[in-house]
């Protein structure tokens, strides 16, 4: 805890007059209509960001500050706000020092990040303030990353640039050591996969759906999960590799392990020993067509203080997106499949889940900074825990969204 606040203090105490300050942002106003059941964002068992009915919302207001120290070093500060009928959240989503060195004669460049940031997993959320560039809603996989996965620690990157070696490919390897992510896996287990463009802001609590087990073996669990919680002072780690061929084909693979102690509980927050592997690609087929996909597979374990398995789940999610671009138009069609497999025997806490989803997005570029977007989300899921609230375990939910987005 002390090291975290020392880091934040050291960042804010740097002299402002020595910095080159740059900033950019994104503002996203939406109109949406959904059908199905109450959203998981408000602690229920629906799979969509919005509950049934219409909603006028601030889909995202994100601001990214870059405080330049010199040509190679800077501090990044990213804040986001999300305001809708489910929940209002405003705060920091990333804060880190970064350094990117100059490449040597062989094209090798070293880089680092220190602070709170997203690991380099998502291939969708690579626009300003971690927004998805070509759609309103990322896949279930990357929706979960935005909700529960954030690292506070150190990342080192080595990048080999092909143009220095007369090669037609670039290679990037990253590794990170981190803390403050011990509860990753709690929400994936207790509400399952979902579709949402929200990101958890620092200090935010995530409401947990009610199950019979919470009056028994899980009675100590807090009503909200803290995605930034650290309970055992153990470091997690991740590895990420990216291969870029002729700037047309990107291949990605990685591994993430929060290394949490699963039987430690502090302030109603349990440790969840969570790890996953992932792989992805982005392929520019020609000037108009591109294909992108990612697959994640992992496990999460939470135990009682007596080291009895309380929640033991395997999980999986994958998507494939076909995109067509012809300025000023862009169309994206995404198919995905997801599951959670419950391996424990805890009564009143069945986390089994299986589902499929389809998303169709259209983006029209009004000018350099203004965009109109529309999106249809369809998701068919079967979740056993819905029976605890007398709901049908299988639900088909749909959502139509229209948005005006401005990058500034």
Record the tokens describing residue 340, joined without a space.
Answer: 């959670």
Q: Which of 264, 273, 304, 247 is nearest to 184 (CA)?
A: 273
Given a cut of 50, whether residue 2 has pLDDT beyond it is no
For the chain, the average pLDDT equals: 95
Q: What pLDDT is recorded for position 383? A: 98
The C-alpha angle with vertex 181 and arms to 202 and 313, in degrees rounded to 5, equals: 125
Is residue 273 within 8 Å of 300, Cβ to Cβ?
A: yes
Q: Which of 119, 176, 177, 173 is nearest to 149 (CA)?
A: 119
Q: How many CA atoms lie within 13 A of 288 on its CB side?
A: 6
Q: What pLDDT is recorded for position 19? A: 74
Given a cut of 60, whether residue 310 has pLDDT beyond it is yes
Q: CA distances (Å), 221 to each of 209, 233, 266, 299, 383, in order? A: 12, 20, 9, 20, 21
* Tens-place pLDDT, residues 313-359: 999 999 999 999 999 999 999 999 999 999 999 999 999 999 999 99
C-alpha–C-alpha distance, residues 293 and 334, integer Å: 9
C-alpha–C-alpha distance, residues 206 and 272, integer Å: 15
Mean of the pLDDT values across residues 97-104? Answer: 96
* Tens-place pLDDT, residues 356-374: 999 999 999 999 999 999 9
C-alpha–C-alpha distance, residues 274 and 261, integer Å: 10
C-alpha–C-alpha distance, residues 139 and 317, integer Å: 9
Confidence of residue 3 (pLDDT cuts 50, 70, 90): very low
C-alpha–C-alpha distance, residues 206 and 300, integer Å: 18
Give 105: exposed, middle or buried? Use CB within 10 Å, 0-12, 13-18, 19+: exposed
Q: Which of 257, 277, 305 is nearest to 151 (CA)?
A: 257
Given a cut of 90, whether residue 1 has pLDDT beyond it is no
Q: What is the maximum alpha-carbon separation in the chain?
A: 66
Omega before 362 within 30 of 0, i.e. cis: no
C-alpha–C-alpha distance, residues 38 and 43, integer Å: 8
Is residue 400 within 8 Å of 376, Cβ to Cβ?
A: yes
pTM of the model: 0.94
Confidence of residue 17 (pLDDT cuts 50, 70, 90): low
Domains contained in the chain, CATH given: 2-407 (2.40.160.10)
C-alpha–C-alpha distance, residues 183 and 272, integer Å: 5
DSSP count for the chain of H helices, then E strands = 3, 20
Q: What pLDDT is recorded for position 83? A: 97
Backbone φ and ψ of 187, nearest 5°: -75, -35
Given a cut of 60, whether residue 11 has pLDDT beyond it is no
Mean of the pLDDT values across residues 154-167? Answer: 96
Q: Tokens 């998303």 belong to which residue? A: 359
Q: What pLDDT is recorded for position 5? A: 45
* Tens-place pLDDT, residues 110-153: 999 999 999 999 999 999 999 998 999 999 999 999 999 999 99
Instruction: List residues bridging with 244 in a β-sheet.
Output: 170, 250
Given a cut of 60, whether residue 89 has pLDDT beyond it is yes
* Signed CA dihedral, 251, 141, 373, 398: sign only: positive
C-alpha–C-alpha distance, residues 275 and 277, integer Å: 7
Coil vs helix vs strand at 91: strand
User: What percent of the chain has a predicted confidence (pLDDT) above 90?
Assistant: 94
Q: CA distances (Å), 199 to each of 5, 26, 96, 262, 387, in order? A: 22, 14, 17, 25, 28
* Tens-place pLDDT, residues 201-224: 999 999 999 999 999 999 999 999
C-alpha–C-alpha distance, residues 4 and 311, integer Å: 30
């Amino acid at each position: 805890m002390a090291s975290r606040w020392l880091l934040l203090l050291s960042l804010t105490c740097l002299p402002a007059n020595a910095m080159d300050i740059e900033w950019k942002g994104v503002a996203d106003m939406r109109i949406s209509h959904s059908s199905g059941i109450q959203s998981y964002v408000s602690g229920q068992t629906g799979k969509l960001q919005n509950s049934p009915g219409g909603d006028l919302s601030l889909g995202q207001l994100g601001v990214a500050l870059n405080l330049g120290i010199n040509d190679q070093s800077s501090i990044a500060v990213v804040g986001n706000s999300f305001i809708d009928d489910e929940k209002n959240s405003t705060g920091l989503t990333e804060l880190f020092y970064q350094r990117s060195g100059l490449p040597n004669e062989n094209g090798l460049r070293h880089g680092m990040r220190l602070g709170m940031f997203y690991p380099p997993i998502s291939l969708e959320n690579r626009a300003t303030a971690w927004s998805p560039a070509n759609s309103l809603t990322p896949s279930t996989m990357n929706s979960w990353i935005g909700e529960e996965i954030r690292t506070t620690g150190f990342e080192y990157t080595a990048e080999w640039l092909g143009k220095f070696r007369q090669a037609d490919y670039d290679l990037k390897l990253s590794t990170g050591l981190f803390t403050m992510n011990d509860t990753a896996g709690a929400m994936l287990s207790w509400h399952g996969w979902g579709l949402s463009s929200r990101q958890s802001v620092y200090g935010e609590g995530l409401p947990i759906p009610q199950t019979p087990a919470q009056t028994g073996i899980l009675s100590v669990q807090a009503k909200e999960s803290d995605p930034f919680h650290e309970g055992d002072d153990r470091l997690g780690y991740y590895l990420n590799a990216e291969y870029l061929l002729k700037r047309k084909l990107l291949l990605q693979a990685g591994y993430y392990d929060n290394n949490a102690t699963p039987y430690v509980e502090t302030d109603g927050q349990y440790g969840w020993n969570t790890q996953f592997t992932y792989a992805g690609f982005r392929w520019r087929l020609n000037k108009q067509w591109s294909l992108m996909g990612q697959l994640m597979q992992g496990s999460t374990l939470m135990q009682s203080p007596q080291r009895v398995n309380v929640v033991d789940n395997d999980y999986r999610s994958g998507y494939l997106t076909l995109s067509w671009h012809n300025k000023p138009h862009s169309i994206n069609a995404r198919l995905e499949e997801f599951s959670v497999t419950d391996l424990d025997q805890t009564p009143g806490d069945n986390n089994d889940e299986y589902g499929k989803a389809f998303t169709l997005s259209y983006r029209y570029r009004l000018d350099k900074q203004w965009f109109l977007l529309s999106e249809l989300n369809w998701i068919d899921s079967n979740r056993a825990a819905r029976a605890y609230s007398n709901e049908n375990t299988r639900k088909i939910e749909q959502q139509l969204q229209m948005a005006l987005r401005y990058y500034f």
